[in-house]
Amino acid sequence: MVRVVCYCARVVAVILLMTALQTHGVAAMDAEKRANIEALLKDTGMLANMNRMIDLLTPQIIGGLKKTNGGMNSPVSVPRK
């Protein structure tokens, strides 16, 4: 009985160890990819352009939403029967 419990504990320990090591490697790879993409965007000037585009388009998007939702009387309209 003790051998079965020890064997199960070893199996669980190996699975947990593999899981922990696997996610650590993926997180490091994602951080490296993110840094590479950010460096590329900075070098090409696209990062600054994206911030400017967001600043310019946000008022237009909000204005369009106000026009679309302007005819509504309440935030949530539920048809009554």
Domain ranges of the chain: 2-66
What pLDDT, on a 0 to 100 scale, did the predictor assign at position 21?
67
CB atoms within 10 A of CB 41: 14
State the sign of the Cα–Cα–Cα–Cα dihedral 57, 58, 64, 65. positive
Q: What's the whole-model pTM score?
A: 0.33
Q: What are phi and psi of 55, to 5 degrees?
A: -65, -35
Structure tokens at 1: 């009985």
Confidence of residue 80 (pLDDT cuts 50, 70, 90): low
CB 38 within 8 A of CB 47: yes
